[in-house]
Amino acid sequence: MIHIQRVYGDQGDSKGRRYLVERLWPRGVRKEALPLDGWLKEIAPSTELRQWFAHDPEKWPEFRRRYWKELEANPAAWQTLLKTARRGAVTLLYSARDTEHNGALVLKAFLDQQLTAAR
């Protein structure tokens, strides 16, 4: 099972292994203050895509499409995470303020689809 959680919230709610799925470290968060099993920079949207999107909800459908294509083109970035999710719960941590339009949501949907397809 894959969960998502914002890094600025209560970290006691996390389930399973915890991975930061952002290309940049979250502002104002000390590295030692964020319990993690890994920081997966390479799985995050590319710098170009992230800058283009700029968290503009009107660009959300196109962002989702482009990020999905990036994920499809780079299975090495997400295969290990998928294997971990097959063994138990995983929490994807993100830092965006917008809880309805962020890369972690797209990544979760992508990984959920991969898990379903493998059954």
Residue 57: exposure state from Cβ atoms within 10 A (0-12, 13-18, ≥19): exposed
| pLDDT for 117 | 86
- Domain total for the chain? 1
| pLDDT for 79 | 94
> Is the CB of residue 36 less than 8 Å from the CB of residue 20?
yes
Tokens of 118: 């493998």
pLDDT of 7-49, one tens digit each? 997 666 667 999 999 999 999 999 998 999 999 999 999 999 9
| pLDDT for 15 | 77
**pLDDT for residue 62 is more than 90:** yes
**pLDDT for residue 61 is more than 80:** yes
| pLDDT for 89 | 95
> Is the CB of residue 71 less than 8 Å from the CB of residue 110?
yes
% pLDDT > 90, the chain: 86
Residue 22 structural domain = 2-117
Summarize the confidence of residues 46-62 as an average pLDDT. 96
